[in-house]
Structure 1
Amino acid sequence: MGTYHSGHRRRLRSTHLAPGGRDLGIMKSPVPCRAPRQAINLASWQQSLPHLSDQPGDYKTAITALKTLIDQGFDKGCYIDDLLKDMTQGMDAILCRVWDNFGLSENNDCALIAVGGYGRAELHPGSDIDILVLLQSEPDPVLEEKISRFFTFLWDLQLDLGNSVRTVRECLDEGANDITIATTLFESRRLAGPEALYAEFEAGLAQPGFWDSKIFFEGKIEEQRKRHKRFGDSGYGVEPNLKESPGGLRDLHIIAWIIKRHFGVTRLQSLIGEGFITEQEYDTICLARNLLWRIRYALHRLTGRKEDRLLFAHQKALATEFGFQDAPGSLAVEQFMQRYFLAITDIRRVGEMLLQLFDEEILLRDQPAKIEPLNAHFHITNGYLNIRQASIFEQHPPALLELFKQLQQTPGLRGIGAVTIRAVRKSLPLINDQFRATPECRHLFMDILSSTHGVYHQLQRMNTYGVLAAYLPVFENIVGRMQFDLFHAYTVDEHTLMVLRYARRLAVPEHRDELPQCSEIFQQLRKPQLLYIAALFHDIAKGRGGDHSELGAMDAKTFCVQHGLDDNDTSLIVWLVNTHLLMSTVAQRKDISDPDVIRDFALEVKTKQRLKYLYLLTVSDIRGTNPTLW
C-alpha cells in the first residue's frame, strides 16, 4: 500500500523578504458573498485636504469627517476589509499632508514609514497610529527640529500615536536583537520619502542573516504558545480577547509574519495551489477574520477607545447592533457569541494545519520524512499521525473514529497530520445515519470513551475537527454556545469537555493530591466510563428550551441503547444526567442540618454506588464551570 503525506505538495522557494513587497495585509480578497460591494465616497473627502490650514483644529475636523464617513459605510454594510483600507488611506493622506507642511518631503535623507497594525492597513476606530521616521544617518539640528515639530503637531491632533526615529542601521541592529522589533519592521509601508531609502531598509531586512526564517518561525511559535497560555489555552472563555485569545486576530498575524519572512509573499492567497491551503480553507478563514474585524470595529466605536476584550458589559449591545434577537432557549447575546466562537474555531483549525505545514517546510525541508507504519490505515510522519492513502476514509469510513483511538494508543505523538485533518474535514459527510448505526463505529466510540488514556484530549480534538458533533448530532447545538452569566466561565461544549477532563483526572495517580478523597472514591466505581458518558450528556440539551436535564436524560438513554449498554448501566447514566444538579442544589440552597432534607435526598439517591457517581459528577461539574469556584 502506498504512503500519503504532506510531501505531496509542491515546494515554494524560500525567498525571505522580497524588497518592494509592502502589503502585509493578510487575505485581502473579497469575502465570498453574493451581495455587491458598496463603496464610500472617500474621493470627496480627499479633495478637501489641500484646502486645510496649518491649524490642528482643521485636521481634527478632517479626521472626524473621515471617521464619520467610515462609520456610515459600516452601518450600510460595506465590506469591512474595504473600510479598514479606506480608513488607512485617509490617515495616510493626513500624515503625508502634515509631513509636507513641515518641509520633510524636501529632505532625501528621511522617510515616513507606517508600522504595526497601521503598517498592515488594518486601522480600526481606536487603533494606534504607529509610525517610524526612517533616517539615512543621524539628523542635523535643522532636520531634528522639523521631526520634533512634526510629532508635536500629531500629538496636538490627539492621535493615539506610537512613534520612533531610527536610522536604517539602528533599525537593523535593534531588530536583529529583538524579535518583536523585527516583526514590527517586517510589516512596514512607506508613506512618504525617497523610495531608495526604503529599498535599502527592505534589502537589509531581506538578508538571510537578519532573523533566519527557521529561528524566526521557532520564535513566533513559542511566542504564540506563551500568549495562548496567558489568555487561556481553550480560547472558549466567555469574555475573550478578540486579538490575543487563541483563534483571535493575533493568530492570523503569526501566519502573515511567517509567510512574509520565509516565502517573501504578503498574501495568504499566494499559497493556494501550493499544498498549504485550499480555496475553501482560505474562504473559511476570510469569513472568520472579517467577522472578528467587524466585531472589533463595533467594539471600538461602542467604547470610544481601543478595546479588544469582549466583556459582558458590551456583549448585549453588540448583539443588538449585529441584529440578533432573543429566541426560546437562546438569548440574542448567546447567539452572537456563538457566531464568534465558531469563527475562532475555524481560525484555530486552519491555523493549526498551516503552522504544521510551515513546520515541515521551514524546519524539516532538507530532511527526509520519517515514516513509521502503524497499520493498514495509518502511519506516523515526523511525529504526526497520518492516513496512508488519501482515499482511506472513503474506502473505510470507520477509520474516521479509529484515527482518534490510534492517538490514544500511541503515546508520544504530536497530533494529527495536516493532510489528515484536511481529509477528516472533507469526509465529515460520511458520518451519517448509516455510519452511526454501524457496529464497528459504535464500538470505536465506546473504546475512545472507555480508554485509560487521552479521553478528554481526543474528544476535544474530535470537537475541534467537527467529528464529535457529526457523530452525536445532539452535541452540535451546544458547540460554541455560551451562557450569559458570570457563573459559567466557558461555552457549553467546552464546559462539557472540562467536566469530563476533571472526572478523568480523578483516575490519574499524579493528580491524586488535588482531591484525595474523590480520587479514592473514583477507584471504587465499578465502571468509570459511565461517569464519562454522564459528563458528556449532562448539559447536552442546553439552549433547546425546556428542562435541559430531562431532555439530556432522554438523549443519554437513546445513546446507551444504541451503544449496547445494559439496563443497569443505562438506568444509572440516565438518572445521573436527569439529577446532576441535585447534590449541588441541596448543598448550596437547602438546610442540610434538616433531617427531612437529608431523608428526601437519600430517598432519591437510593444506593451508595449512585451516591459515589453523583458526588464525583457534581465535583467535576463545579470544577469545570469556573476555575475560581473550587
Structure 2
Amino acid sequence: MTDLFAALPNRRAIIDRRALSDRIAEIASGHEGDVALLRPQIVTLLAEALATGRADAAARLAAHPTRGRQTVTALAFLTDQIIRLLYDATTQFLYRPGNRSTSEQIALLAVGGYGRGEMAPHSDVDIAFVTPYKPTGWTEQVIESMLYSMWDLGLKVGHSSRSIDETIRMAKSDLTIRTALLEARYIWGDRTTYDAVLARFDNDVVKDSGRNFVAEKLEEREARHKRMGDSRYVVEPNIKEGKGGLRDLHTLFWIGKYVNRVRSVTELVDAGLLSRQELRQFQKAEDFLWAVRCHLHMITNRAEDRLTFDLQLEIATRMNFTARAGRSGVERFMRYYFLNAKMVGDLTAMFLAHLDDKLAARGRRFVPSLFQRPRKLDGFVLERGRISLPSDDFFVEDPVRLLEIFALADKHGLAIHPSAIRAASRDAHLIDLAVRKDARANAFFLDVLTSPRAPETVLRWMNEASVFGRFIPDFGRVVAQMQFDMYHHYTVDEHTIRAVGLLARIERGDLIGDHPLSTDLMGKLISRRVLYVAVLLHDIAKGRGGDHSVLGAEVARNLCPRLGLSAAETETVAWLVLHHLLMSSTAFKRDLSDYKTIMDFTDVVQSPERLRLLLMLTVVDIRAVGPGVWNSWKRQLLTDLYSSAEEVLRLGHKQNGRKERVVGKQEALRDTLALGEKEFARLAKRFPESYWIAEPDDILAHNARHILAAGKASLSIAAEVYPDRGATLVTVYAADHPGLFYRIAGAIHLAGGSIIDARIHTMRDGMAIDNFLVQDPLGGRFDSPDQLDRIRRAIEDALANKQKLLPRLEARPLPRTRAEAFAIVPNILIDNKASNRFTVIEIHARDRPALLFNLAYALFQSKVTVHSAHISTYGERAVDTFYLTDLLGGKIESKARLQTLERRLLDAAGGVVDQVAA
C-alpha cells in the first residue's frame, strides 16, 4: 500500500483485500487454468466487494456532505484493491506464466486523476499496462483478460498497453499523455518496470523541458476557459473544466510537479510555489469542489460535471444549505461555490507569481507580459513591467494606497504584480470608515470606474483582491451572489463589472455596429460620470428581500456624496437606479404605437438628458446579462421608444394629432404603392383608424401589397425575413372569425417558431390582417426556406382545423429543458389606465410550449378581442401582454367579467385548459 492512502480512516470497511484474496484462492482450488469457470466467479465476488466499497464511500460523503476528499480517496483506494486482486487472480489462477522471462513482466500504473489518488463515483479508471519490451503472448493474455473482467465489473476503463520505449516516445509527442504520465502511480505488478519507466520519463521527457510544458499547459487552460464561457461566475458552471474548477487546481499541481518533480501538493510549499496559507486554501477549495462533483455523479448516476439549475437545488439540500438572511438555500450554496472558485483564481495568480520569481532569468519575466513600460509611480515600484510594492508594509503605512495601486494600473496601462495583489487581499481589512471617507481614496476609485481605458479589467482585479467590496460594502454584499433563474448568466458582481466594461467599449466606439444610437449619444451626454456610477449601482441592492430598485436608490443617495458627486448628480443617479427597468419594461411589454404608452413613459422621464442616460443604462444592463440576450429586435424596440419619447420631450407637446398622423401615413402609402386616388381610397377605407396608428410605414406597404395580390382569396399567408427587426414577419390575411388568433399562435409554435410580437386587425369588410414577428425559441433566426415553408403549412392546417393543436403543442420539448427546476406562480396584472382605448393584461408564468396558445384560447373563450400581443421571455419566465377590448370595441370594465377573465387566464397559465376544440 502506498503512503497516498495512509490518512484514510478505516480502510478495511471499504474493502478487505486479504479476506477477498483468501476467498478467490478457495474458489480457484482445484480449478486453476479453467478460465471459463473461474473468471465469472471471480468477477461476481469482486462486483459484490465493489458495490460494498462504493456504498461505504457514499456513506462517508453523506456524513460530511461538504467534504469530498475522503470520498474520492476511498474510491481510488477501492479501485486499487480491486485491480490488485484481479491481477493476482489472473496471473495465479487463470494464466500462470510458468518460468517468466525478463520480457514477461507487467507493471500496472494508475495515471491521470486516478494516479493522483482521486476518483469521483463515475470517473474513468485510467490505467497503463507497461511491459519492458514488446508484449509477449502471455502478457497480452493477462491484459486482455483483466480488461474484460474490468468491463464486466462495470468500470469505465481508459487504458494503454505499451512497452517502455513506446511510452516514452508517446509522452514526448503528446501533451495529454505526458500530463497523464506525470501523475503515474504504481498499483501492482513488476516494480522494476515501473521504476524504469519513471526514470526514463524524468531523464528523457521532463528534463530541461519545464518552460515548454508550462507554456503549453497555460495555453491549454486559456483555451478551456474560453470554451467554458471565460468566467468563473457563470450560473451553471462546469465543476471540472470551468474557470475556477478542479481542472485549474490540477493544472497548478501539474506545473509545480513538472518543474520541481514533487510527488504531492504539500511538497509545493517546500518548493516555494505555495505558502502554508495558500496550501490550506488549495486543500479547502479542492475538498469542497470534490464534494460537489461526487454529489453530481451520485444524483445523476453518470459522469456529470455541469452544475445545472435542477441539480443545484438537490445538491444544496444534500449539503445542508438552508434559507437565511433573505437568501434561499440554493443561492447560499452557489455563493459559497463562487467564493471557492474565486479562491482558485487567487491561488492561480499567486502560484504563477511564485513560479515567475523562481524560474525567470534576472530582469526577465518567466510568464510573459504585455506591460513593460517604466513609470513614476508615487512610491510603488516596477518589477519586470508590473506594479509592485517597495516593502511588505507599504499598504499598512497608508491604506489609501490600496485604491491608488489600481488607479495607477489603469492610468499607465500596467499590470499589477500578483504578490502586490496578494498583499492587497491580505491588507484589505485596513479599509475602514476613515479610508472610505478619504477624498483621495474616493477620487482614485472614481477614476478607475469612469476610466475611458479598461475599467472592467481593473475593477475585476480590485474585486478579486477584495478591495472593491471593502471600499463599497454594499457591493461586497453582492459579490459571488447568483440570481437563481435561467435569464441571468453571471453573478451580480460579475454582471455589474461587465456592464461597466460594455459602457466603456460603447464610449470608445468599439460596438458601433451593435449600438449605433448609444455610441452617438455617449458623445452628447452632459452627465458622463453619473452614468458610470448608475451602472455600478443599478443592481447593488439585489438579495435584500425587497424591491432592489427602491433599495438601490437609497444606497445611491448615501454613497454618491461620498464619491464626490454633487447633490444634483446624486439625485440623477438615484433616479436612474430607481427606474433602471422602466425603459425595457415599456419597450418590451407595451404597445409603442399607443400614444398613452409614450406619454406615461415621458411623464416619468421628464428630460432629454435623463432619457439618454436611461437608454444607455438599459442597453448595457441587458447586454451584460449574458451571451445571446441582446438582439436586433430589442435594439429596434428601444430605438423606437427613444425616438418617440425624445420627440415629446423636445417639443413639450404632441406634434401631430391622431387624425393628422393617419392622413400622413395614408399619403405616404399611396405614394409608395403608386395607386390612383379612387383605387387607393377603396383600399384605405377597408382599414379601421386604429390600424393606421398601430403599424409602421413599411408594414403598411407590406400588408397592402399582400392584400392586393390576394384578390378575392379567403386566405393568404406570407412569411418572410424582416431584417430591421431581427425576426421573420408572418402575415395572415383571412376571413375573420372567433378563434383566429389562438389557432395561428398555436400553428406558429407547432412549426418551431416563437412569437415575440403580434398585431391583430379586423378590417371593415369582415377580413382580418394579422402580423406576427417570429424568432426561434431562444431568440435566434427563424428564416431558412424550410422553416418559412413549414410555418405557412402549419397555419393553413390549423385554420382548416385538420388537427388538435393542444396535444401536439404539449408534446413538444421545452427549448430550455431545465425550466422545470423553477417554481413560478402565475400572476395576472389587469390595467385599465395604461391605454385610453384598451384593457391591458400582463401575464407572468413559467415558459412552456403551449403557453401562448392556452392564453389565447382562454381569451377566445372569454369573448374578448385581441388587438396586439407582446411576448417577452426571461429564461424560464414568460411575460405576455395583451391589448384587449370587448366585442363592441370598448374597454372591459365590469368587475365580474374581469374576475372571470383573470380566473381563466390563471388556469391557462398554470396549464389547465379546456381541450375541447383546442
Query: Normalized against structure 2, the TM-score is what?
Result: 0.63
Aligned counterpart for 1:387 among listed residues 389, 392, 410:
389
3-state DSSP of counterpart to 1:204: helix
Partner of 2:74: 86
Sort the Cα spacing of 1:153 and 1:623 in 2 relative to 1 into closer, same or farther, 3 A: same
Counterparts of 1:485-524 in structure 2, within 5 Å, are: 485-524=485-524
In structure 2, what residue type is equivalent to 1:510?
Answer: D
Offset at 1:366?
Answer: 8.5
Deviations 1:394-438 (A, max 9, x none): 112111111111111112x3x221221121112111101111111
Distance of 1:365 and 1:75 partners within structure 2: 52
Aligned counterpart for 1:63 among listed residues 46, 50, 58:
50
Counterparts of 1:371-382 in structure 2, within 5 Å, are: 372=374, 374-382=376-384
Q: Which has the larger radius of gyration?
A: 2
Question: Does the 8 Å contact 2:125/2:158 carry over to 1?
Answer: yes
Deviations 1:2-42 (A, max 9, x none): xxxxxxxxxxxxxxxxxxxx98x8xx999xxxxxx975653
Partner of 1:121: 117
Partner of 2:20: 49
Offset at 1:273?
Answer: 6.1
Offset at 1:80?
Answer: 3.0
Counterparts of 1:603-618 in structure 2, within 5 Å, are: 603-618=603-618
The question of 1:323 aligning with 2:320 is answered yes
Sort the Cα spacing of 1:45 and 1:72 in 2 relative to 1 into closer, same or farther, 3 A: farther
Partner of 1:450: 450
Q: Which moved more, 1:503-512 or 1:553-562?
A: 503-512
Offset at 1:616?
Answer: 0.8
Distance of 1:568 and 1:624 partners within structure 2: 28
In structure 2, what residue type is equivalent to 1:595?
Answer: Y
Offset at 1:278?
Answer: 2.2
Question: Does the 8 Å contact 1:46/1:90 carry over to 2?
Answer: no
Q: Which moved more, 1:226-235 or 1:325-334?
A: 325-334
Sort the Cα spacing of 1:365 and 1:57 in 2 relative to 1 into closer, same or farther, 3 A: farther
Aligned counterpart for 2:89 among listed residues 87, 94, 101:
101
Sort the Cα spacing of 1:623 and 1:245 in 2 relative to 1 into closer, same or farther, 3 A: same
In structure 2, what residue type is equivalent to 1:311?
Answer: T
The question of 1:343 aligning with 2:314 is answered no
Partner of 2:277: 280
Deviations 1:440-499 (A, max 9, x none): 111211222232212111111111110100001111111111111111111111111111
The question of 1:402 aligning with 2:404 is answered yes
Distance of 1:275 and 1:371 partners within structure 2: 28
Question: Does the 8 Å contact 1:371/1:382 carry over to 2?
Answer: no
Question: Does the 8 Å contact 1:119/1:188 carry over to 2?
Answer: yes
Question: Does the 8 Å contact 2:274/2:354 carry over to 1?
Answer: no
Counterparts of 1:406-485 in structure 2, within 5 Å, are: 406-411=408-413, 413=414, 415-485=415-485
3-state DSSP of counterpart to 1:60: helix
Question: Does the 8 Å contact 2:363/2:384 carry over to 1?
Answer: no
Question: Does the 8 Å contact 1:204/1:210 carry over to 2?
Answer: no
Distance of 2:379 and 2:485 partners within structure 1: 45
Structure 2 unpaired stretches of 5+: 28-38, 367-371, 631-918
Deviations 1:222-274 (A, max 9, x none): 11111111111121111100011111111111111111111111233223366
The question of 1:158 aligning with 2:150 is answered no
Sort the Cα spacing of 1:264 and 1:40 in 2 relative to 1 into closer, same or farther, 3 A: closer
Distance of 1:332 and 1:82 partners within structure 2: 25
The question of 1:359 aligning with 2:362 is answered no
Sort the Cα spacing of 1:92 and 1:584 in 2 relative to 1 into closer, same or farther, 3 A: same
Aligned counterpart for 2:246 among listed residues 246, 249, 257:
249
Looking at both structures, which has the greater relative contact order when contacts are Cα pairs under 8 Å and sequence separation is at least 6? 1
Distance of 1:276 and 1:179 partners within structure 2: 22
3-state DSSP of counterpart to 2:161: strand
Distance of 1:180 and 1:44 partners within structure 2: 32
Partner of 1:130: 126
In structure 1, what residue type is equivalent to 2:53?
Answer: L
Distance of 2:261 and 2:96 partners within structure 1: 29
Question: Does the 8 Å contact 1:114/1:191 carry over to 2?
Answer: yes
Question: Does the 8 Å contact 1:40/1:69 carry over to 2?
Answer: no
Sort the Cα spacing of 1:273 and 1:394 in 2 relative to 1 into closer, same or farther, 3 A: farther
Partner of 1:77: 64
Sort the Cα spacing of 1:455 and 1:29 in 2 relative to 1 into closer, same or farther, 3 A: farther
Sort the Cα spacing of 1:39 and 1:576 in 2 relative to 1 into closer, same or farther, 3 A: farther
Partner of 2:730: none
Partner of 1:8: none
Partner of 1:186: 182
In structure 1, what residue type is equivalent to 2:383?
Answer: T
Partner of 1:627: 627
Distance of 1:38 and 1:330 partners within structure 2: 36
Distance of 1:49 and 1:427 partners within structure 2: 56
Question: Does the 8 Å contact 2:365/2:384 carry over to 1?
Answer: no
Offset at 1:44?
Answer: 6.1
Partner of 1:12: none
Offset at 1:105?
Answer: 9.0
Partner of 2:291: 294
Offset at 1:391?
Answer: 1.4
Offset at 1:558?
Answer: 0.9
Question: Does the 8 Å contact 1:560/1:570 carry over to 2?
Answer: yes
Offset at 1:200?
Answer: 0.9
Sort the Cα spacing of 1:277 and 1:377 in 2 relative to 1 into closer, same or farther, 3 A: farther
Sort the Cα spacing of 1:250 and 1:180 in 2 relative to 1 into closer, same or farther, 3 A: same
Offset at 1:49?
Answer: 1.7
State the percentage of identical aligned residues.
Answer: 33
Question: Does the 8 Å contact 2:90/2:142 carry over to 1?
Answer: yes
Question: Does the 8 Å contact 2:377/2:408 carry over to 1?
Answer: no
Sort the Cα spacing of 1:391 and 1:85 in 2 relative to 1 into closer, same or farther, 3 A: same
Structure 1 unpaired stretches of 5+: 1-21, 31-36
Partner of 1:112: 108
3-state DSSP of counterpart to 2:233: coil
Partner of 1:236: 233
Q: Which moved more, 1:297-306 or 1:268-277?
A: 268-277
Offset at 1:544?
Answer: 0.8
Question: Does the 8 Å contact 2:392/2:423 carry over to 1?
Answer: yes
Partner of 1:269: 266
Offset at 1:625?
Answer: 0.8
Sort the Cα spacing of 1:402 and 1:228 in 2 relative to 1 into closer, same or farther, 3 A: same
3-state DSSP of counterpart to 1:86: helix
Question: Does the 8 Å contact 2:121/2:297 carry over to 1?
Answer: yes
Distance of 1:498 and 1:572 partners within structure 2: 22
In structure 2, what residue type is equivalent to 1:188?
Answer: A
Q: Which moved more, 1:366-375 or 1:68-77?
A: 366-375
- Bigger strand fraction: 2
3-state DSSP of counterpart to 2:391: coil
Distance of 2:229 and 2:473 partners within structure 1: 28
Offset at 1:86?
Answer: 2.0
Distance of 2:348 and 2:400 partners within structure 1: 26
3-state DSSP of counterpart to 1:139: coil
Question: Does the 8 Å contact 2:260/2:271 carry over to 1?
Answer: no
Distance of 1:538 and 1:340 partners within structure 2: 24
Deviations 1:274-295 (A, max 9, x none): 6532222221222111110111
Alignment RMSD (CA, Å) = 2.3
Partner of 2:879: none
In structure 2, what residue type is equivalent to 1:93?
Answer: Q
Deviations 1:136-193 (A, max 9, x none): 1111223212221221111111111111101111011011011111101111111112
Sort the Cα spacing of 1:201 and 1:274 in 2 relative to 1 into closer, same or farther, 3 A: closer
